[in-house]
């Protein structure tokens, strides 16, 4: 048994509780013992004799332990609150501990608790203040934030506050800000809290850095002075010896946690503008890279873990700034050394970081030098997650110089790849083969090989895309027909190959019909031999191929008519096959040759658009993942079908923006209605050509602009517009109420674009709600085959419904071109996801129950109701997808906060699918009706 003495404090109490309860090894005996103990404690609390502080502490401690064993406690709360008024540390500690664990925010005692906390905060006793702050942070409720969010900053920046209390205050304020950001007021204290980065106590600096990093993500301007202080503090740490910071040195690494936090804080901002600060930061990063090359000072794993944590965070900062070629290349070389490290986690992190480095034009070539090592990792790694990162890196480093090698290696690996990643590899191979296909015969061979190796994982998007490309390119049609004909002769063909073969031979079988080995009858018999082994959709496609053969090859018409006339077709149980057989047979019988030729003429070329394979890959991987490198890669090419990779436009040629290059149209009048163009000398027109050509009115939106706009609601990167002359690609990122958009203009012709003038036009309603500025204007001359880039910084001031219009005007071969498209800047782009427990979600849901706060829409599904696609769209929309919150597992719920400069708007959504009726019910609840309505409109259009 355990001995307990009055002076042993909390440890003695705890041991006594353990001894008196858990010595019962049988569950029934334990319950009996607990019930007896609860009855005894209840009688003590209700007895006539007043309990002293020690007795209250002892019994409250027992109640706490019983609760932690999993038993309900429905009394003792008042006694715990009474302990808060004690002047003894151990009694106050037990009281606060009980409240932190057992009292919820709806308790009737919350007012008494708050009063006790206020008294302790005002006591200036550092021990009592620490207990109070810990309790506030542990509960972290909205009620706590309302009561103390204004007091804690004062404690944090007060000159007489002790270091230990400052640490607790900073972390407590961080907790409240994460749970209720709208209740933490910004004020004079923000400028003072930044100076805590210079505090002599490193514990205070560590806590303050965590707080400032979180606050700076939403209010970067308020805390921009922290950059120079963070660089100064980081410099002192990385240049210090391990003996200089003894209390904060971890296995010979000086203050690793603080170093990591400072590096993360610097990632909230662009590279410092002050040359001195920027030079000092560069020296810090170089020192960290140099230390990585030094022999380890200890063989223990803790030393290498701390050292590598700082190194990887420094590399993340180098990648974020993307402005120092030397540092980027050095970071790449350092990561390359980790690719063959014996530690699996290091190899994984190195591959993941190199994927991001491959997107920089400065380090892309350095990444490519490690291709053999990455290929070897793909073949020899035992961990599937590391192999998947190797696939991602091969995909990211691929360009025209190494595309055949990388595609071949991926195809080779695909034969033995884990089933969980096969579909993703198939999509990546298809994207790379299309993007970097110089010879489209190689592309056709690659896709057919892909179907042969992993046909079950080749989605419809892949073989649809093959058909589109073959139809659009005359030079590859004959080769494609010959190749699929030969592939179909294999005894066992995957059904996707039959689909491709049926479609291509139906369109271009005549191109190989002159060879006796591929005569029309042989083509037909070959396809028909696969007919009975295929599913209904494939049979339907083959029937369409047969009627195409009737037009292409009149000599096989009787044979095909016999097939269509058979009972297995005319009386087929499937309505679609029966209807096709009846209609095709009748068409072949009554229609003249001219009518047949007209009805069954060759498919026209497909309009060029963003690859649906790339869109599928983005949905599969989710937003902000490594697969988005297809859009971000070196900002060199958004050309879906390949073509030369243009070099980035010279920045020296873009030094002076023209008046009409104001992408945001700030201070400009809205476009005038169609009419005679104003005189160029008037100076009052919105669109004024920089080379003194007459100004033009803004063109109406291009056909398909609205569809393209809708596609960008749940994604940030891709091709916004494309015609025969011009391609417009976007890459954008949003954080809190700020955004940055990269617009890429690609000249698809071999002729210059002259007087190239993009203008972003904002309506009167929109202009005060979205503000921004251009950081890189566009050169008015775009060379043939070249691509130029423009960067727009965006700030959401308040909620809005309309989207700006991007108007592009230029001269091509003496002809004036005028194109307008909607730019996808929508309210949901300023969404920040918020994780919530089920109880919190439905509590908040009930609070937003006013009719003005809810918008509901019941609508028919326009796309297949796929669970994973739905999840990806909700996440891409910007909200957090809350799992296991809704009682109905088939429903989807999400939560987030719309951030604007003036306010924050909480948003809850609930999507209820009905598979039988192919319907959805979408419910949005926010504190502002217009926001609910706009978000509901945007999200409903995605399903």
Residues of each annotated binding site: 44, 54, 58-62
| C-beta of residue 766 within 8 angstroms of C-beta of residue 778 | no
Q: What whole-number distance in Å separates Cα of residue 445 and Cα of residue 468?
A: 15
Q: What whole-number distance in Å separates Cα of residue 352 and Cα of residue 368?
A: 15
In terms of DSSP H, where are the helices of 103-162? 110-122, 126-139, 142-148, 152-157
CB atoms within 10 A of CB 182: 14
| C-beta of residue 756 within 8 angstroms of C-beta of residue 773 | no
- Residues with Cβ < 8 Å from 525, sequence gap 6 or more? none
Q: What whole-number distance in Å separates Cα of residue 350 and Cα of residue 347?
A: 5
The alpha carbon torsion through 490, 495, 497, 502 (nearest 10 deg) reads 100
Phi, psi of 881 (to 5 degrees): -90, 115
- Residues with Cβ < 8 Å from 336, sequence gap 6 or more? 350, 354, 369, 370, 373
Spatial CA neighbour of 68 closest among 35, 94, 101:
101
- Residues with Cβ < 8 Å from 862, sequence gap 6 or more? 943
Largest interatomic CA distance in the chain: 112
Q: What whole-number distance in Å separates Cα of residue 204 and Cα of residue 170?
A: 8
Spatial CA neighbour of 388 closest among 423, 359, 434:
423
Q: What whole-number distance in Å separates Cα of residue 295 and Cα of residue 376?
A: 27
Spatial CA neighbour of 200 closest among 154, 242, 247, 238:
247
| C-beta of residue 184 within 8 angstroms of C-beta of residue 176 | yes
- 331-344: b (≥16 Cβ within 10 Å) or e: bbbbbbebbeeeee
Sole residue written with tokens 């502002």: 928
Secondary structure class of 676 (helix, strand, coil): coil
What CA–CA distances, in Å, run from 848 to 94, 477, 800, 905, 927?
37, 59, 21, 12, 7
Q: What whole-number distance in Å separates Cα of residue 565 and Cα of residue 562?
A: 5
Q: What whole-number distance in Å separates Cα of residue 315 and Cα of residue 320?
A: 8
User: C-alpha 394: how far from its chain's center?
Assistant: 21
Phi, psi of 499 (to 5 degrees): -60, -50
Q: What whole-number distance in Å separates Cα of residue 44 and Cα of residue 61?
A: 14
- How long, in residues, is the chain? 943
**First-to-final CA distance of the chain:** 66
CB atoms within 10 A of CB 768: 12
In terms of DSSP H, where are the helices of 418-566? 419-435, 440-454, 460-472, 474-488, 495-508, 520-531, 536-552, 557-565
- Residues with Cβ < 8 Å from 940, sequence gap 6 or more? 857, 859, 920, 922
SS3 of 865-878: CCHHHHHHHHHHHC
| C-beta of residue 335 within 8 angstroms of C-beta of residue 350 | yes
| C-beta of residue 205 within 8 angstroms of C-beta of residue 222 | no
Q: What whole-number distance in Å separates Cα of residue 833 and Cα of residue 825?
A: 18
């Amino acid at each position: 048994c355990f001995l307990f003495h009055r002076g042993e404090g909390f440890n003695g109490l705890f041991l006594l509780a353990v001894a008196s309860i858990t010595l019962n090894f049988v569950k029934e005996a334990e319950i009996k013992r607990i019930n007896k103990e609860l009855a005894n404690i209840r009688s003590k609390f209700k007895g006539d004799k007043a309990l002293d502080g020690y007795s209250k502490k002892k019994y409250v401690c027992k109640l706490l332990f019983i609760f932690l064993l999993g038993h309900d406690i429905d009394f003792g709360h008042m006694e715990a609150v009474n302990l808060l008024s004690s002047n003894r540390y151990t009694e106050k500690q037990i009281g606060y501990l009980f409240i932190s664990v057992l009292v919820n925010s709806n308790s009737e005692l919350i007012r008494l608790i708050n009063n006790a906390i206020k008294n302790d905060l005002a006591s200036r006793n550092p021990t009592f203040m620490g207990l109070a702050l810990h309790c506030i942070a542990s509960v972290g409720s909205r009620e706590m934030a309302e009561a103390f969010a204004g007091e804690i900053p004062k404690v944090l920046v007060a000159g007489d506050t002790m270091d230990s209390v400052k640490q607790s205050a900073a972390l407590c304020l961080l907790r409240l800000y994460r749970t209720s950001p709208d209740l933490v007021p910004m004020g004079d204290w923000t400028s003072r809290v930044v100076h805590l980065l210079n505090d002599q106590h490193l514990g205070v600096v560590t806590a303050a850095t965590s707080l400032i990093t979180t606050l700076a993500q939403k209010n970067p301007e308020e805390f921009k002075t922290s950059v120079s202080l963070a660089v100064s503090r980081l410099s002192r740490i990385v240049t210090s010896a391990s003996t200089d910071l003894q209390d904060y040195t971890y296995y010979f690494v000086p203050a690793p946690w603080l170093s990591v936090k400072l590096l993360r804080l610097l990632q909230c901002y662009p590279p410092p503008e002050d040359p001195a600060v920027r030079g000092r930061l560069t020296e810090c990063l170089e020192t960290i890279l140099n230390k990585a090359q030094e022999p380890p000072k200890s063989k223990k794993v803790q030393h290498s873990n701390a050292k590598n944590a700082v190194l990887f965070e420094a590399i993340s900062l180098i990648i974020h700034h993307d402005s120092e070629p030397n540092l980027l290349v050095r970071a790449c070389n350092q990561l390359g050394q980790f690719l063959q490290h014996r530690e699996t986690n290091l190899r994984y992190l190195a591959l993941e970081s190199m994927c991001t480095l491959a997107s920089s034009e400065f380090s892309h070539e350095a990444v490519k030098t490690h291709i053999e090592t990455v290929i070897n990792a793909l073949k020899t790694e035992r961990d599937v997650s590391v192999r998947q990162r190797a696939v991602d890196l091969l995909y990211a480093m691929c360009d025209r110089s190494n595309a055949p090698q990388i595609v071949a290696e991926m195809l080779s690996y695909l034969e033995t790849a884990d089933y969980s990643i096969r579909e993703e590899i198939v999509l990546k191979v298809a994207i790379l083969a299309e993007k970097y296909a110089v010879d489209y015969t190689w592309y056709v061979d690659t896709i057919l090989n892909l179907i042969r190796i992993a046909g079950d994982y080749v989605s419809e998007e892949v073989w649809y895309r093959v058909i589109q490309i073959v139809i659009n390119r005359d030079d590859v049609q004959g080769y494609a027909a010959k190749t699929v004909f030969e592939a179909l002769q294999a005894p066992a063909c995957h059904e996707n190959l039959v689909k491709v073969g049926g479609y291509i031979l139906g369109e271009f079988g005549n191109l190989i019909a002159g060879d006796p080995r591929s005569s029309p009858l042989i083509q037909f018999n070959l396809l028909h031999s696969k007919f009975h082994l295929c599913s209904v959709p494939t049979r339907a496609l083959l029937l369409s191929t047969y009627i195409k053969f009737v037009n292409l090859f009149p000599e096989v018409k009787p044979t095909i008519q016999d097939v269509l006339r058979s009972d297995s077709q005319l009386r087929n149980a499937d309505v679609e096959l029966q209807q096709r057989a009846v209609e095709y047979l009748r068409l072949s019988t009554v229609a003249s040759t001219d009518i047949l030729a007209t009805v069954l003429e060759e498919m026209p070329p497909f309009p060029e658009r963003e690859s649906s394979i790339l869109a599928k890959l983005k949905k599969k991987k989710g937003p902000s993942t490594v697969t988005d490198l297809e859009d971000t890669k070196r900002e060199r090419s958004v050309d879906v079908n390949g073509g030369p990779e243009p070099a980035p436009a010279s920045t020296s040629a873009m030094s002076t923006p023209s008046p009409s290059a104001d992408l945001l149209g700030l201070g400009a009048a809205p476009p005038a209605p169609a009419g005679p163009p104003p005189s160029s000398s008037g100076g009052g027109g919105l669109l004024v050509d920089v080379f003194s050509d007459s100004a033009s009115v803004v063109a109406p939106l291009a056909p398909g602009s609205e569809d393209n706009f809708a596609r960008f609601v749940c994604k940030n990167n891709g091709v916004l517009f494309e015609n025969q002359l011009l391609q417009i690609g976007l890459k954008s990122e949003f954080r809190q109420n700020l955004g940055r958009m990269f617009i890429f203009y690609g000249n698809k012709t071999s002729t210059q674009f002259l007087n190239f003038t993009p203008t972003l036009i904002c309506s009167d309603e929109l202009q005060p709600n979205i503000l921004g500025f251009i950081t890189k204007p566009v050169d008015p001359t775009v060379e043939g085959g070249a691509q130029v880039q423009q960067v727009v910084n965006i700030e959401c001031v308040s909620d809005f419904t309309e989207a700006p219009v991007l108007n592009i005007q230029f001269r091509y071969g003496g002809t004036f071109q005028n194109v307008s498209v909607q730019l996808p800047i929508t309210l949901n782009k300023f969404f920040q996801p918020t994780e919530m427990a089920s109880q919190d979600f439905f509590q908040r849901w009930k609070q937003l129950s006013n009719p003005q706060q809810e918008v509901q829409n019941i609508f028919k599904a326009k796309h297949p109701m796929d669970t994973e696609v739905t999840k990806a769209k909700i996440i891409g929309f910007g909200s957090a997808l809350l799992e296991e919150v809704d009682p109905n597992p088939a429903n989807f719920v999400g939560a987030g906060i719309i951030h604007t400069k003036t306010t924050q708007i909480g948003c809850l959504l609930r999507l209820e699918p009905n598979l039988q009726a192919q319907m959805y019910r979408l419910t949005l609840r926010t504190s502002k009706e217009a926001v609910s309505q706009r978000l509901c409109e945007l999200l409903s259009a995605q399903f």
